[in-house]
Amino acid sequence: MSKKKEPNHPEPVTAKGGLPPTQLPLSNNALVVLARRYLRKDDHGNVIETPEDMFRRVAKAIAQPDINYRKDADIERLAEDFYDLMTSKRFMPNSPTLMNAGRELGQLSACFVLPIEDSIESIFEAVKHTAMIHKSGGGTGFSFSRIRPEGDRVKSTHGVASGPISFMTIFDVATETIKQGGTRRGANMGILRIDHPDIEKFIRAKTETDRLNNFNLSVAITEKFMDAVEQGEDFSLINPRTGKEVRRLSSIKVFNEIVESAWGSGEPGIIFIDRINRSNPTPLLGEIESTNPCGEQPLLAHESCNLGSINLGLFVKEGKIDFPALKETVWQAVHFLDNVIDANRFPLDEIREKTLQTRKIGLGVMGFADMLIRLGVPYNSQEAISIAEEVMAFIDTESKRASAELAKIRGNFPAYEGSIYDRPDTPFMRNATTTTIAPTGTISIIAGASSGIEPLFAVSYIRRVLDGTELVEAHPLFVRAMKEAGTYSDELMERIASVGSVQKIDEVPEKLKQIFITSMDVSPEDHIAIQAAFQRHTDNAVSKTINFPESATIEDVKKAYLLAWRQGLKGLTIYRYGSRPVQVLNLKPEKVKPQSAAQVGSNGKISPRPRPPMTRGVTQRVRTGCGNLYVTINWDEQDICEVFAQMGKAGGCAACQIEAESRLVSLALRSGIRLQSIIKQLSGIRCPSPSWQEGRQILSCPDAIAQVLSSVGNIEIKREEPAVMGCPECGGVLEPEEGCLLCRSCGFSKCD
């Protein structure tokens, strides 16, 4: 297929504040996100497209395939309908479609799964294909379960295998070097079956290495394993090369290892692989072994999927759900997503062939929390669960009806024969799947909607911009409700912003406290109940984060995992806020003496005492989100006198900044500054890649230095709960979303 060259735009388009001009009802946050990631730019990085231009571009490109099925198709009218569908914010397709439709790249899918066999040829072919997909704007999922375990024999070389974990690092490094289409950085899902001999090493992979930062990890758990857990029995580990048992382990011990790792770091997640395959719509094409990076889209090898989401918050009319309007939007969205498959320029021929066989689409939702607020229903209530079931059952049913109508004109998906639809009561079906609940990320920012099926992350929060200014931002429905109640004030908004939740704010009316629920106000059991309600009426899987407070125990997480299995979920991702720090050094110096007096010059200025010729100290390795940080604390006969820190193999700006931090801390120590004051300044500084070590959260390199200093000085670090992370680009709040971190102010994402 020949590629069209994009037309040149005469000059950049900018408006007040540097944002693109628009007549559409878009928030400033939406305009920032669009300008940063979606709108066309010239060779100098200047935006040369308005939001209207973008939606027109996408609508025209996605309407065009209709001509393949009806020669009299009114493409202009359909393009206008699709334009209205998006600009009304009732529906948004996944990000690659908004970015690339009608442009030269033309890659419109968000998620792919690539096969990995037990050979060097297959592994490095997959690495090459991963690079091509990431360059085109997609994310990739893999199962490493077919790779022989570490230490197994290699017949061709008479050597021993290095195992799946070592090969995962190759994919990780490849991902790190590729920028997707200039706008997105690649994300990966790495999966290993529970019965693989290297499963314990896989469970610990994110806590024992400074790599795999471009991976979300999930264990593929079988029903047989879960039965063994419930019975307290051992289970077999199977060598994938031979198919034979190599040893047996305690199922409870391994399950506890998964839980403990998830409690400490949020990973690995779990997917119930047998449950996923029971709902595999095309079993004759093979078993499903992996999902996309966020876990909600199980796919066969070389399949891709096109996702989109309906904004539920816009379908409340006079206090009730507007089902007729919702039906119309569902049918339009199914038509849109089926056309995306035909308009798509796939990165690989194998992906095109497999995708066209099944024509899977994934219609999901966003704005569920907004819908509940407008209905006056608490998120953590039985009524919310009933609404979730009712709405998703309606969407699932109508999406199947819309797909069947398309099939009458366009034909069934080619793999229909032998599929779950191949029966007299469903003679027509255009798409093997129609529904998926995906994390909506930046498209929910564009739509001005709450994310996916999540509760609000914060009712109000403080955004710290680069010049030091603090801006209070609040949910518009809450602001309106408070004004109507006569209790609104700027001072009150600032108080709420300091904690995010309204539950302990006396001035907020009780009725509003019940409705404006945040993620940390909802118990894990209620989170799971909502996820299960949506899962019961969703073809694929459901993306949701189960939030835990810092004080949650390992047993709390274990109960959630067991509850997820019993509730029929296909997978689970948890997020526990950072634990209180624990003592990390086994070796401790003698009791630290009070800081010595600083030297004062003739001009009255303080100068540091000289560095002593000989010091002694300890070095602690701390795992940060950027890699292993080695922190050395030295002291002499007077006191702690210096700090050195080095980041693994880091160079450039990272190494310079860490060295600067170390020098300034050392200078402060020898100038008589109290250790507590230094720790207070460094502690709590956040970067977009926090990590966990031994049950405590490491927020950044400065925070890691503070934690080592606190351990040496036996000084407790006190943090407010929850530990809200700030966006490194705009100062907004980073929200946890399926193993990623998203800023709803500017669209920054840890996974992009």
pLDDT for the residue 466: 45
Picking from 372-381, 497-506, 538-547, 553-562, which range would have the lowest pLDDT averaged per residue? 497-506
pLDDT for the residue 514: 96
Task: Report how far residue 53's alpha carbon sits from residue 59's, in angstroms, rounded to the nearest whole number.
Answer: 10
Helix (H, G, I), strand (E, B) or coil at 541: coil
Instruction: Name which residue leads in pLDDT, 483 or 159.
Output: 483
Question: 254-285: per-residue pLDDT in tens?
Answer: 999 999 999 888 889 999 999 999 999 999 99
Task: Report how far residue 205's alpha carbon sits from residue 199's, in angstroms, rounded to the nearest whole number.
Answer: 10
Task: Report how far residue 602's alpha carbon sits from residue 604's, in angstroms, rounded to the nearest whole number.
Answer: 5
Confidence of residue 710 (pLDDT cuts 50, 70, 90): confident
Which two structure tokens, joined as six digits, stand for 101? Answer: 């439709």
Task: Report how far residue 542's alpha carbon sits from residue 295's, in angstroms, rounded to the nearest whole number.
Answer: 8
DSSP state of 614: -
Across the range 664-676, mean pLDDT stands at: 84
Which two structure tokens, joined as six digits, stand for 209? Answer: 């290495």
- Residue 313 — φ and ψ, nearest 5°? -60, -20
Sequence-distant contacts of 716-722: CB under 8 A, at least 24 apart: 716/581, 717/580, 717/581, 717/679, 717/683, 719/578, 719/580, 719/683, 719/684, 720/499, 721/549, 721/550, 721/551, 721/577, 722/500, 722/520, 722/549, 722/550, 722/577
pLDDT over 90 (residue 698)? no
The angle, 0 to 180 degrees and rounded to 10, between the axes of the packed helices 51-63 and 75-87 is 140
Distance between the two ends of the chain, CA-based, in angstroms? Answer: 29
Which two structure tokens, joined as six digits, stand for 110? Answer: 């968000």
pLDDT for the residue 558: 96
Helix (H, G, I), strand (E, B) or coil at 120: helix
As a whole number, the mean pLDDT across the chain is 87
CA 308 to chain CA centroid, Å, is 16
Are the C-beta atoms of residues 473 and 463 closer than 8 Å to each other?
yes
pLDDT for the residue 584: 23
Confidence of residue 598 (pLDDT cuts 50, 70, 90): low
Confidence of residue 469 (pLDDT cuts 50, 70, 90): low
**What's the chain's Rg over C-alpha atoms?**
27
pLDDT for the residue 182: 47
pLDDT for the residue 176: 80
pLDDT for the residue 17: 66
Question: 311-346: per-residue pLDDT in tens?
Answer: 999 999 999 999 999 999 999 999 999 999 999 999
- What's the Cα-to-Cα distance from 631 to each of 208, 313, 620, 693, rounded to whole Å? 17, 49, 5, 14
Instruction: Name which residue leads in pLDDT, 251 or 466.
Output: 251
**DSSP letters of 403-471?**
HHHHHHHH---TT-TTSTT-STT----S-S--B-B---HHHHHHHT---TTPPBS-SEEEEE-TTS-EE
Task: Report how far residue 609's alpha carbon sits from residue 638's, in angstroms, rounded to the nearest whole number.
Answer: 11
Confidence of residue 745 (pLDDT cuts 50, 70, 90): confident
pLDDT for the residue 562: 96
Total Cβ atoms within 10 A of residue 157? 8
Percentage, residues of the chain above pLDDT 70: 87
Sequence letter at residue 90? R
Instruction: Name which residue leads in pLDDT, 618 or 579.
Output: 618
Are the C-beta atoms of residues 724 and 740 closer than 8 Å to each other?
no
* Positions marked catalytic: 292, 294, 296
Instruction: Name which residue leads in pLDDT, 439 or 86.
Output: 86
- Residue 48 — φ and ψ, nearest 5°? -125, 25
Which two structure tokens, joined as six digits, stand for 391? Answer: 């709405």
Across the range 42-69, mean pLDDT stands at: 96
Picking from 120-129, 292-301, 689-698, which range would have the lowest pLDDT averaged per residue? 689-698
Confidence of residue 730 (pLDDT cuts 50, 70, 90): confident
pLDDT over 60 (residue 720)? no
Contacts of residue 432, Cβ cutoff 8 Å, sequence gap at least 6? 281, 282, 358, 359, 360, 413, 415, 419, 421
pLDDT for the residue 616: 75
pLDDT for the residue 658: 86
Across the range 163-187, mean pLDDT stands at: 78
The closest alpha carbon to 105, from 463, 344, 269, belongs to 344
- Residue 91 — φ and ψ, nearest 5°? -150, 145
Confidence of residue 486 (pLDDT cuts 50, 70, 90): very high
- What's the Cα-to-Cα distance from 660 to each of 26, 96, 539, rounded to whole Å? 42, 40, 53
Task: Report how far residue 90's alpha carbon sits from residue 25's, in angstroms, rounded to the nearest whole number.
Answer: 13
Confidence of residue 114 (pLDDT cuts 50, 70, 90): very high
Are the C-beta atoms of residues 511 and 370 closer than 8 Å to each other?
no
pLDDT for the residue 623: 79
Question: 32-49: per-residue pLDDT in tens?
Answer: 899 989 999 998 889 999
Task: Report how far residue 313's alpha carbon sits from residue 365's, in angstroms, rounded to the nearest whole number.
Answer: 10
Confidence of residue 209 (pLDDT cuts 50, 70, 90): low
pLDDT over 90 (residue 287)? yes
Across the range 163-182, mean pLDDT stands at: 81
Confidence of residue 718 (pLDDT cuts 50, 70, 90): low
pLDDT for the residue 168: 95
Across the range 285-312, mean pLDDT stands at: 96
Helix (H, G, I), strand (E, B) or coil at 311: strand
Across the range 595-605, mean pLDDT stands at: 56
pLDDT over 90 (residue 565)? yes
Beta strands in 264-321 (DSSP E): 269-272, 290-291, 298-299, 304-311, 316-317, 320-321
Confidence of residue 586 (pLDDT cuts 50, 70, 90): very low
CA 652 to chain CA centroid, Å, is 28
Question: 601-651: per-residue pLDDT in tens?
Answer: 556 667 788 877 777 777 888 878 777 888 888 877 777 888 888 886 555
Picking from 378-392, 433-447, 534-548, 565-579, which range would have the lowest pLDDT averaged per residue? 565-579
Buried-exposed string 100-121: b where 16+ CB fall within 10 A, e elsewhere: bbbbebbbbbbbbbbbbebeee
Number of Cα atoms under 13 Å in the Cβ half of residue 478: 28
The closest alpha carbon to 394, from 337, 336, 423, 435, belongs to 435
Contacts of residue 105, Cβ cutoff 8 Å, sequence gap at least 6? 136, 137, 181, 345
**DSSP letters of 547-599?**
EE-TT--HHHHHHHHHHHHHTT-SEEEEEEPPPPP----SS-PSPPPPPPPPE
pLDDT for the residue 264: 84
Which two structure tokens, joined as six digits, stand for 16? Answer: 């007040």
Total Cβ atoms within 10 A of residue 39? 21
Confidence of residue 170 (pLDDT cuts 50, 70, 90): very high
CA 402 to chain CA centroid, Å, is 30
